[in-house]
């Protein structure tokens, strides 16, 4: 018999499962339909496994520098099987946690592929969902009052560069590699591409990054891109920018050969494998959108500020609506959508307050406008910058490259953006995020006494530097 619910969520990734927990807290009878594994991309193919590999690479890179710290370890080497084992263990532990949370919230989980049906005998409105069960049992029908589509995204590929598991990979296949290649070409110097470049280079792989834009991590402040470029090159990563890859030149055999037009000149690149990291496509196909009035714009589901689609009882959140495709964004969107469904008055998301992190070595993190963006928006800006070189804790860590940069409005004194590159900045960015939420001025940030010795002193000093008052510069 068809089951009825207050809310059914299509997709149990970060956005979907967090929405389900919030719905259960609010007393909604809730179900999640998941065709692969609860936790989605973030837990199984994204944030967590990639950070586990990055951590192993960082430990290896640090161990090789042991002598600098007076730690004499001979013949440090990588056992990649163990690296993968550790990654899988962490993912497994968290996967159990998510399953437990579903049970605790009394959330029904359907293991299968869901598809939205149009008006039918079950309901005069579109939104009933047919679930093709993974275990081969008969299709289930679920009848929800409300639906949240949280079907996520998948790696974008380029025609002629489809993944084959051997020579051409996306991040999905790269995470499952059994052996490290000797060399790799990474197509795309965005956030995911640079994390891979950093990790593989730290593991000792010969890495070449080919980036179409004129700089790597082009969504970040220019000075952060420049510093990341410098530090990647110092590691030995080769980087070609303003480079348009020519997929039709791909040759596969003992490895790969591919050409790119670099600043107008055709160049050939050779490696054992190629990793295509050129963005992600929203999963909007095969989920029955054609049975609804829901609109798809630029490949993503169109929604309003409360994540309602054209069918006001069907919401969409996370990677499938485009924008900032990040796990913490998907989670918050899920919470806002559920609270709206429950008749609460959730505050809308201000995307300029979302922190973005790059977990490479060095790390980078930012919140708010870059210096150029702020200027383009017509702000008269003042900038404070402080290097980790003058921060005791950074020297103690043996990682003193990088800086904190604060962009502020000269007229109102509001902080417009904070940009960091260096040790542990992904853990430090939340202070800047809070400062933005509270509309803090650089003075207020500097007035917060930062404990000594900590890396966070760089934030206090950068805030002082906005008005030329940094102490240690």
Ligand X SMILES: Cc1cc2nc3c(=O)[nH]c(=O)nc-3n(C[C@H](O)[C@H](O)[C@H](O)COP(=O)(O)OP(=O)(O)OC[C@H]3O[C@@H](n4cnc5c(N)ncnc54)[C@H](O)[C@@H]3O)c2cc1C
Please report whether residue 11 would count as binding ligand X according to CB under 6 A. yes
Residue with tokens 């990474």: 186
In eight-state DSSP terms, residue 320 is: G
74 is known to lie in a ligand binding site: no
Q: What is the DSSP string of 280-302?
A: EEE--TTSSGGGS---EETTEE-
Show contacts with ligand X in window 60-89 (CB under 6 A): none
Q: At closest approach, how far in Å is the CB of 21 from ligand X? A: 13
CA distance 136 to 112: 9
Instruction: Using the minimum distance from each CB to ligand X, give the nearer residue, 57 or 326.
Output: 326
Please report whether residue 301 would count as binding ligand X according to CB under 6 A. no
Among 127, 144, 152, 368, binds ligand X (CB under 6 A): 152
CA distance 204 to 286: 41
Please report whether residue 425 would count as binding ligand X according to CB under 6 A. no
Q: At closest approach, how far in Å is the CB of 380 from ligand X? A: 33
Residue with tokens 């197509």: 187
368 is known to lie in a ligand binding site: no
Question: Interface mask (CB under 6 A) for ligand X, residues 267-286, using x and -?
Answer: ----------------x---
DSSP element (H, E) containing 22: helix 14-25
Side-chain-facing half-sphere of 367: CA atoms under 13 Å: 19
Active site residue 452: yes
Q: For the CA atoms of the chain, what is the radius of gyration? A: 24
Instruction: Using the minimum distance from each CB to ligand X, give the nearer residue, 114 or 423.
Output: 114
CA distance 250 to 259: 7
Cβ neighbours of residue 55 under 8 Å, at least 6 residues apart? none
Strands 273-276 and 168-169: parallel
Question: Interface mask (CB under 6 A) for ligand X, residues 186-225, using x and -?
Answer: ------x---------------------------------
Question: Interface mask (CB under 6 A) for ligand X, residues 164-183, using x and -?
Answer: -------x------------
Show contacts with ligand X in window 25-54 (CB under 6 A): 33-36, 40-42, 45-47, 50
Which one from 229, 424, 450, 452 is the annotated catalytic residue? 452
Instruction: Using the minimum distance from each CB to ligand X, give the nearer residue, 240 or 275.
Output: 275
Q: Which one of 13-21, 62-70, 291-299, 395-403 is the stretch in contact with ligand X (CB under 6 A)? A: 13-21
Bridge partners of 185, per DSSP, are: 208, 274
CA 154 to chain centre: 13
Distances (CA, A) of 450 to 176, 261, 342, 417, 463: 42, 48, 41, 19, 12
Q: Which residues bind ligand X (CB under 6 A)?
A: 10-16, 33-36, 40-42, 45-47, 50, 113-114, 150-153, 171, 192, 283, 287, 318-319, 325-328, 330, 359
Binding-site residues for FAD, please? Answer: 51, 114, 151-153, 319
Catalytic residues: 452
């Amino acid at each position: 018999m068809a089951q009825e619910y207050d809310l059914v969520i299509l997709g149990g990734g970060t956005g979907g499962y967090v929405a389900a927990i919030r719905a259960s807290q609010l007393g909604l009878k809730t179900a999640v339909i998941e065709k692969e594994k609860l936790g989605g991309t973030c837990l199984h193919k994204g944030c967590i496994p990639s950070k586990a590999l990055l951590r192993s690479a960082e430990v290896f890179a640090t161990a090789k520098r042991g002598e600098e710290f007076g730690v004499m370890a001979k013949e440090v080497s990588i056992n990649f099987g163990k690296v993968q084992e550790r990654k899988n263990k962490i993912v497994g532990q968290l996967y159990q946690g998510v399953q437990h949370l579903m049970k605790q919230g009394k959330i029904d989980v359907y293991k299968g592929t869901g598809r939205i049906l149009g008006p039918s005998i079950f309901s005069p409105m579109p939104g009933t969902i047919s679930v093709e069960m993974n275990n081969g049992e008969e299709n289930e029908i679920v009848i929800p009052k409300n639906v949240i589509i949280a079907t996520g995204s998948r790696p974008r590929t380029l025609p002629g560069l489809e993944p084959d598991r051997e020579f051409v990979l996306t991040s999905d296949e790269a995470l499952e590699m059994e052996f490290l290649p000797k060399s790799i070409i990474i197509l795309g110097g965005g956030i995911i591409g640079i994390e891979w470049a950093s990790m593989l280079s730290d593991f000792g792989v010969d890495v070449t990054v080919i980036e179409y834009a004129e700089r790597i991590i082009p969504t970040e402040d220019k000075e952060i891109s420049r510093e990341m470029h410098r530090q990647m090159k110092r590691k030995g990563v080769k980087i070609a920018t303003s480079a348009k890859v020519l997929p039709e030149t791909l040759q596969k055999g003992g490895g790969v050969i591919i050409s790119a037009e670099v600043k107008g000149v055709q160049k050939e690149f050779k490696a054992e494998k190629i990793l295509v990291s050129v963005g992600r496509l929203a999963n909007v196909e095969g989920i029955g959108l054609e049975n609804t009035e829901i609109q798809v714009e630029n490949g993503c589901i169109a929604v309003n500020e409360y994540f309602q689609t054209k069918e006001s009882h069907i919401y969409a959140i996370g990677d499938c609506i485009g924008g900032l495709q990040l796990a913490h964004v998907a989670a918050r969107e899920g919470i806002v959508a559920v609270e709206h469904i429950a008749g609460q008055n959730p505050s809308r998301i201000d995307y300029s307050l979302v922190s973005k992190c790059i977990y490479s070595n060095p790390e980078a993190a930012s919140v708010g406008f870059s210096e150029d963006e702020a200027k383009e928006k017509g702000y008269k800006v003042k900038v404070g910058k402080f290097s980790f070189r003058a921060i005791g804790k950074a020297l103690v860590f043996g990682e003193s490259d990088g800086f904190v940069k604060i962009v502020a409005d000269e007229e109102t004194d509001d902080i417009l953006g904070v940009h960091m590159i260096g040790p542990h900045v992904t853990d430090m960015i939340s202070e800047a995020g809070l400062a933005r939420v509270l509309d803090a001025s650089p003075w207020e940030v500097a007035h917060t006494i930062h404990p000594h010795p900590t890396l966070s002193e760089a934030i206090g000093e950068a805030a002082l530097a906005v008005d030329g008052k940094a102490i240690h510069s």
